[in-house]
Chains A and B, each alone.
Chain A
């Protein structure tokens, strides 16, 4: 096999230096990133009875301080009905935002390119269950070149056996890849393209995630029906290679972003542990229990994580205690908590900007798992991060604003679609080695 020349190595190193990428820290390596000040945050929001029109909706918030409407809702588009709005993601050209409903298994496709301030619902994909062969609960929307990779949570009978489903960017079904025996549950899916490796995690089936949390916790048998595996796949062939034991429902997965950082993080929700998935010298992977998240005996329920562009800080949001804990993961096998901060009475999603200076939180986990009464506050909260402290910048009360339960966040920018490269949100194209 020919070896890369030294000149090529120099070129690749240079590319890596200018192309270092992050979350927008949880995005696919195939997606062009917003690397400057994001202009909008799109929030996929669950409808609440008695709040506004009660329907799920895409809410657009202005987050660029240069805008006159900074900190306000710019637009809101209802999709009609309650679908258990949850996650979503851009197509690989960043022109469409696909948003899924875990209950109805419908997928709502928004055009965010024509007018980024006012996304428009252009298509509803209603054949997900039928075409996929019975998969329900479209969860992660992960763009691949020319298509969307969607991880399911469940199937028609409500149990946890599920699959990865692919659609092309036109909204046509492509294929289904079922989870392997011994690792039937699904949740997140993330690819390291340079390693040709894909990781999937595991949650629970529809009979559990659509059940009130208080009931679920009181049912010992139901509580056994959660995932405890991370699967390592050949990304190109979609074939499973290893099933790693990660007990306690490992949820979000984040690959490290820097060159030669061949590892990923995940958190186990039920056991409140931070895990690392490390590539070994022989090319196989090992899962390592790295650290507790808060006091596991108090069940903080870690839900979302966000890794900084330089692979230094991992933000972990835990739902039941409403806390964010920031781990210094510079030494990935020896994470150290450097900040603990109360975000709200509950908190769910955490997303940070590419430059790591801005961090956003939303409150809602699942419609029937959210806290109620005074503890059931529904918010979007923005913070500045300086590497040591989180400083609040603004917040929005989603219930008071008649919107609902805010869940996943994605970033938008008008300048991106105009092709402006100076004094506006710059971009870096997907395609260079992270």
Chain B
């Protein structure tokens, strides 16, 4: 098993992440209530482009590939990640979301999960296939990589996802990246509708935000970023 760090941490991280709502429990743990889908706005934040990548079999695959009336939840990760608050956390939450989507008629076939490695040198299609087998997706969850770092760079820039290879004081690469965990909710028009970090990454919240976007009649018509207040 090559992705030892991440997968070992995944074994620790149960699908129930500590940030999940805990209504009714002791006040020592926070218990933010969840909003009703459609009761709030998620204005377009930025537009992103689709990108040609590789799937777990090494075949060409788009990052988004959305049809009208669909949304994507895009996460960036790398399998050597040992930061328990980073990639393993995101994958644990996404695994839980995957299970929710598969059993929800309103979300099934309308929400696509895409996890893209920004470490393509290590994370070959075979490694991503290994990750898929570990995650055992039951909904539409794609594990993507690219031919090389140059192919990933424009995607990272487009989304605003940082991923800096760390070095020691002699300039030697350590095989780990500094990256702020981000997960993106993207509508069928290519507009990012929310960006999540670890502090509020929750399967329930992701599902509610996806519903909120899907409740809109014509997301593709929202060409303007924000419009007038």
Contact = CB atoms under 8 A, between A and B. Distances in A.
Interface in A356-391: none
B225 A168 contact: yes
Given A170-B46, A173-B226, A196-B200, A12 B86 contact: no
B130 interface: no
A3 B16 contact: yes
Contact of B30 (A15, A175, A194): A194
B205 to A, nearest CB: 7
Given A132-B229, A147-B195, A237-B40, A421 B14 contact: no
Main secondary structure of the interface of A (DSSP, over half): loop
Given A133-B229, A147-B45, A236-B205, A194 B20 contact: no
Interface string A89-109: 000110100000000000000
A401 interface: no
A196 B32 contact: yes
B188 to A, nearest CB: 19
Contact of B178 (A9, A32, A239, A281): A32
Interface string A321-345: 0000000000000000000000000
Given A14-B84, A237-B40, A262 B199 contact: no
B6 to A, nearest CB: 13
Interface string B147-180: 0000000000000101011111100001000111
Given A8-B12, A8-B18, A168-B45, A195 B30 contact: yes
Given A92-B180, A421-B174, A2 B20 contact: yes
B15 A281 contact: no
A172 interface: yes
A146 B182 contact: yes
B180 A175 contact: no
Contacts of B32: 195-197, 234, 236
B218 interface: no
A174 B85 contact: no
Interface stretch (B21-29, B63-71, B107-115): B21-29
A181 to B, nearest CB: 16
A431 B197 contact: yes
A1 B22 contact: yes
Nearest to A145: B195
Q: A8, A19, A175, A427: which has the most chain B beta carbons within 10 Å?
A: A8
B39 A237 contact: yes
A434 B167 CA distance: 26
A124 to B, nearest CB: 19
A3 B31 CA distance: 12
A155 to B, nearest CB: 12
Contacts of B12: 7-8, 10-11
Contact of B181 (A131, A234, A238, A431): A431
Given A173-B225, A419-B164, A1 B21 contact: yes
18 contacts: A1-B22, A2-B16, A3-B16, A4-B20, A8-B18, A93-B180, A146-B160, A146-B192, A147-B46, A172-B225, A173-B225, A194-B199, A235-B200, A281-B27, A419-B166, A421-B167, A431-B85, A433-B199
- Minimum-distance CB pairs A-B, first 7: A193-B199, A431-B198, A196-B32, A237-B40, A432-B85, A145-B195, A2-B16
Interface of A: 1-5, 7-12, 14-15, 19, 29-30, 32, 92-93, 95, 131-133, 144-147, 163, 168-170, 172-176, 178, 193-197, 234-239, 260, 262, 279-283, 417-424, 427, 429-434
